Amino acid sequence: MHKKDDNNFKQFITDIVKKHGTPLFLISGVRLKERVEYFRKLLPGVVPYYAVKANPSSDILKTFADMGLCFDVASENEIGNLLKIGVPPDNLILANSVKSPSLIKFAREKKVLLFTFDSEYELQKIAKYAPGSRVIARIKVPNVGSIVELSLKFGLEPEDVLSLLVRAKNLGLKPEGISFHVGSQCTRVENYLESFELTSMILKDAQTKNIRLKIVDIGGGFPIKHFSHEEDIFEEMAPVLNREIDRIFDKSIQIIGEPGRALVGPCCTLVMRVIGKSIRKNKHWYYLDDGVYGCLSGIIYDHCKYQFNVFKKGSVQISTLAGPTCDSFDIISVSEDLPELEIGDIVYVKNIGAYSIATATNFNSIPVAKTILTE
C-alpha cells in the first residue's frame, strides 16, 4: 500500500473507497512485517514486546504472533485474545503497574506470571493472588521532552526500589528486573541514557542484598515520523542506545522493550471523505466522516498531530476540518492549507496506526471506521 507511486496510490485508494465506502482504516500487512524487522535491525540486542494497547487489531496481533513476537499486555481481554491465537503465556508481560485483583487472578490462571509493580500495595496484591510470580520493579525516570509524560502516573522513586525488591523476596515473589518508560514519542536520547545509568546502579545495589536481577525493560517511546518532511529520529538514536546498552549492562542481562507506536504507527492509513462544507468568517470548513471521537482520537488522548492529505490540486487556503458528530468539540484542525474541496472528496492520513482506532468511540452511535488488511 505504501510502496506504490503517487498515481497508483491514488487509484488504489479510489478503488477501495468505491468498494467499501468511508471511513476506512487500512492496515498494511507488508509494512507490519517490515517494521518488526526494522526494529530488530536497529536494536538487535533488545527483545521487542509489542505494546498491545497501541493497536489491538486482530490482524496486527496475528501478524506479530506469526513472527514470534512477545507482547506487553494490560488487561484480561488483551491476554485472552493473544492466548486464543496461540501466543505462549511465557511470551507475555503484564506491564500495567496497577492491576485489579481479578486481573491478577486471571493472569495466574492463564499462566501469565511476569508482572510489573511500582508500590508495596501492588506487591501485596500480587503475592496474595499470584503467589510465587516473577516481578519487575518499574522506576520513575526522566520524561523530558516526551509527548506523553508517563512518569507522572507510574514509577517508584529510585531510592525506594531496593527495599521493595527485598520485600518482594520476603513475600515469596521472584524479583526479576527493572523497568522504566521514558515517555511516549521520545525524541531526547538522553532520557534513555540517564535511565540506563540509574538502572545500572540499582542492579548493583540489588546484588549487595543477594538479589540477582535478570531483566531490564527499557519500555517504549521510540519515535516515528508523522509528517513527510520529518527526519527518522529513531534511526539516529539507535546507534547511541546500542553502544550504551553494551557498555552499561552485563551480557547476562536480558534487555527487552515495549514498542507500540514504533511497530504499528507507520503501517496504517485513515481514509475519509468530505460529507459537509460551509464558510464561516470567510474561511472554508470541511466536515469529514471521521473525527476526534473516532480514529482521530489520538489528537486528544495522544496529543498527536497528523498530516492531512488530499488528491485535489489547486491553490491552497487555510481551512478548518471538523468531524461528523453533533458536538462542537469535534474540531480536527483549524489551520490546514488545502485546495477548495467538494463533498465526496477524499482526505487521508498516513502513519496513524497507533493510539487512533484503539481509542476510537462510537459517540452519536457512529460506527468506528472499517478496518481492512491490505498488502
**Average pLDDT of the residues of the chain:** 95
Locate 145 and state its grid cell: 521532552
Phi-psi region of 155 (alpha: psi -120 to 50; beta: other; left: phi over 0): left
Mean pLDDT calculated for residue range 319-341: 98
pLDDT level of residue 1 (50, 70, 90 thresholds): very low
Residue partners of 367: CB distance under 8 A and separation at least 6: none
Best CA proximity match to 13, nearest among 3, 1, 5, 31: 1
Best CA proximity match to 299, nearest among 310, 288, 285: 288
Residue-level pLDDT at 330? 98
Residue-level pLDDT at 183? 85
Distance of CA 130 to the CA centre of its chain: 27
Residue-level pLDDT at 343? 98
pLDDT level of residue 3 (50, 70, 90 thresholds): very low
Locate 211 and state its grid cell: 538479589
Best CA proximity match to 348, nearest among 300, 292, 265, 289: 289
Residue-level pLDDT at 207? 96
Question: For residue range 196-243, what is the model confidence (pLDDT) as tens digits?
Answer: 999 999 999 999 999 999 999 999 999 999 999 999 999 999 999 999
Q: Could you give the residue ranges of the DSSP H alpha helices within the chain? A: 6-20, 29-42, 58-66, 76-84, 101-109, 120-129, 158-170, 189-208, 233-248, 261-264, 298-301
Beta strands 24-28 and 268-280 are antiparallel
Tell me the residue type at 119: S
Residue-level pLDDT at 152? 60
Mean pLDDT calculated for residue range 303-321: 96
Distance of CA 119 to the CA centre of its chain: 24
Distance of CA 24 to the CA centre of its chain: 20
Residue-level pLDDT at 147? 53
User: Cβ atoms within 10 A of the Cβ of 373, count?
Assistant: 16
Tell me the residue type at 293: Y
C-alpha 361/C-alpha 345 separation (Å) is: 24
Cβ atoms 106, 79 nearer than 8 A: yes
C-alpha 43/C-alpha 38 separation (Å) is: 9
Residue-level pLDDT at 2? 45
In this predicted structure, the answer to whether residue 123 has a pLDDT above a threshold of 70 is yes
Locate 338 and state its grid cell: 488545502
Best CA proximity match to 213, nearest among 164, 247, 245, 165: 165
pLDDT level of residue 195 (50, 70, 90 thresholds): very high
In this predicted structure, the answer to whether residue 143 has a pLDDT above a threshold of 90 is no
Question: For residue range 65-121, what is the model confidence (pLDDT) as tens digits?
Answer: 999 999 999 999 999 999 999 999 999 999 999 999 999 999 999 999 999 999 999
Beta strand extents in 238-345 (DSSP E only): 254-257, 268-280, 283-288, 308-310, 316-322, 331-339
Q: For the chain, how far is it from start to end, CA to CA, in angstroms?
A: 6
Residue-level pLDDT at 116? 98
Residue-level pLDDT at 47? 98
pLDDT level of residue 7 (50, 70, 90 thresholds): confident
Position with higher pLDDT, 114 vs 187: 114
In this predicted structure, the answer to whether residue 146 has a pLDDT above a threshold of 80 is no
Residue-level pLDDT at 200? 97
pLDDT level of residue 6 (50, 70, 90 thresholds): confident
Question: For residue range 266-286, what is the model confidence (pLDDT) as tens digits?
Answer: 999 999 999 999 999 999 999
In this predicted structure, the answer to whether residue 150 has a pLDDT above a threshold of 60 is no
Best CA proximity match to 28, nearest among 3, 54, 53: 3
CA angle 79, 82, 88 (to 5 degrees): 95
Residue-level pLDDT at 148? 52
C-alpha 83/C-alpha 78 separation (Å) is: 9
Task: Write down the pTM of the prediction.
Answer: 0.94
In this predicted structure, the answer to whether residue 372 has a pLDDT above a threshold of 90 is yes
In this predicted structure, the answer to whether residue 326 has a pLDDT above a threshold of 70 is yes
3 state SS of 353 = coil
Could you give the domains of the chain?
A: 6-25+266-374 (2.40.37.10), 30-265 (3.20.20.10)
Catalytic site positions: 326
